[in-house]
Amino acid sequence: MSGKISPASFQVWLVKRLNCKWLYIGLGIKRWLVLLFVGVAALALGILCILIDLYPTARLPEYFYSLTLRLLDRDVRGLFLCVVGVVMILIAVARLSKSLTSALAPEDTDLVEVLYRKRARKKGPKIVALGGGTGLSTLLRGLKEHAAQLTAIVTVADDGGSSGRLRRELGVLPPGDFRQCIAALADSEPLMTSLLQYRFGSGSGLEGHSFGNLLIVAMAGITGSFERALRESSRVLAVRGQILPSTLRHVTLCAETRTPELERVAGESEITRRGARIVRVYLEPENTPAYPDAVRALLDADLIIAGPGSLYTSILPNLLVPDIQNALRAATAKKIYVCNIATQPGETDDFSVEDHFAALEQHVGAGIFTHILANDNYRVNFPDASPSQLVKPRTGAPRDRAIIFADLVDETKSWRHDPKKLAQVILNWHETRNT
């Protein structure tokens, strides 16, 4: 090897050569191993001090002198005992760690890897992600492997499907988007995640409902409030991070559409169903107060991400809450908007990357989000019969320096983001901006 080797690089090389994961950097284990060695050495020196006094004065059995290798030269004896001692300590530590991990961790779980990833996540930035639906849960699924201080701020404007029915019948906030975030951030068995997402296909009153939605609503009834229900559900399912509503008030998302006359449409599901050209969206009531914890999270963040997700019905409903908008302006965090990979029928037909960002700034003002992240992998198997198209920059327009292009496509579902790719690109950008 040529050039200088950093201590960190040497440690990584040593770990690989020795195949000893307890030596990983930042694991918080090596200091205690060193303390163990020092303690054993101190004990040995203490015993040695006692033996030095006993040897010339006390009459000891002959086998005692054989056990202490007195027949060998002192230097050879000392070196031999040191080597034997170190080997015994290493074997003991390795076997002890194996016994502990097999007892404490589930089968086929590498406890050292889990501990290392947890330590690494704690060193990550404080991230706040705003949105709703599948887009937000996709982002969270990728980020949870890199950041422990992760907050999702979720829209409460959903009024369709199971969430809409529960909202109308029980007067609760729509739980669907919260359920998806809990499933994405849960550090539990895959079977539990599948259970949260399970949707009843039949049954009087149950058909169409998701089990996770019912769980959150039931928890709200037990705890007495929706926000406590989210906290307790997150605790039970070992969620990494926190999930917060943008507001606790019941709001209705409204839109002005051009058909070709200007027309008012009320309700998130109705806006998408109409499929008319959207001029603007707004909340009723307009001056809805934000959930205080959501505002605090934004002001304390290092990185704020809006999207991916439905522009008008998932992302903007959060940003239209005045307190959220003010907190975004006041926050010192770096702010980035993640553009969708494909257009959404009924919302963003024929939109370019620039069109998405222009619509965002039209509603919240310029200067809040300084950068856009967009996909540049167009060589994908996109369904020919799909009403959506890949979102691309404007034809012939020079590339804006504020737009970051990267391959973000999920190879199995080419109209969606790959969680790992998306998280890695965002974190690399954030780290670059900090240097």
Where in the sequence of the chain do the CATH 3.40.50.10680 domains occur? Answer: 124-156+246-434
Q: Which of 134, 153, 343, 156 is nearest to 268 (CA)?
A: 156
Q: Are 256 and 276 in contact (CB under 8 A)?
A: no
pTM: 0.77
The topology (CATH level 3) of 124-156+246-434 is Rossmann fold (3.40.50)
Cα separations (Å) of 222 from 140, 205, 216? Answer: 27, 21, 10
Rounded Cα–Cα distance for residues 298 and 369 (Å): 13
Rounded Cα–Cα distance for residues 353 and 341 (Å): 9
Listed as ranges, residues in the chain with pLDDT below 70 are 1-30, 55-56, 58-60, 62-65, 67-68, 70, 100-123, 189, 397-399, 435
Cα separations (Å) of 221 from 23, 37, 198, 227, 230? Answer: 48, 55, 21, 11, 12
Using alpha carbons only, give the angle 179, 235, 196 rounded to the nearest 5 degrees: 30
Using left for φ > 0, alpha for ψ between -120 and 50, and beta otherwise, residue 419 falls in alpha
Q: Are 124 and 100 in contact (CB under 8 A)?
A: no
8-state DSSP, 70: T
Residues contacting 132, CB < 8 A, separation 6+: 154, 155, 158, 177, 309, 310, 313, 314, 315, 317, 318
Rounded Cα–Cα distance for residues 225 and 221 (Å): 7
pLDDT of residue 211: 93
Rounded Cα–Cα distance for residues 322 and 310 (Å): 20
pLDDT of residue 40: 82
Rounded CA Rg of the chain: 29
Q: Which residues pair with 128 in a beta bridge?
A: 151, 304
pLDDT of residue 335: 96
pLDDT of residue 148: 82
* Four-residue CA torsion sign, 325, 366, 338, 315: positive
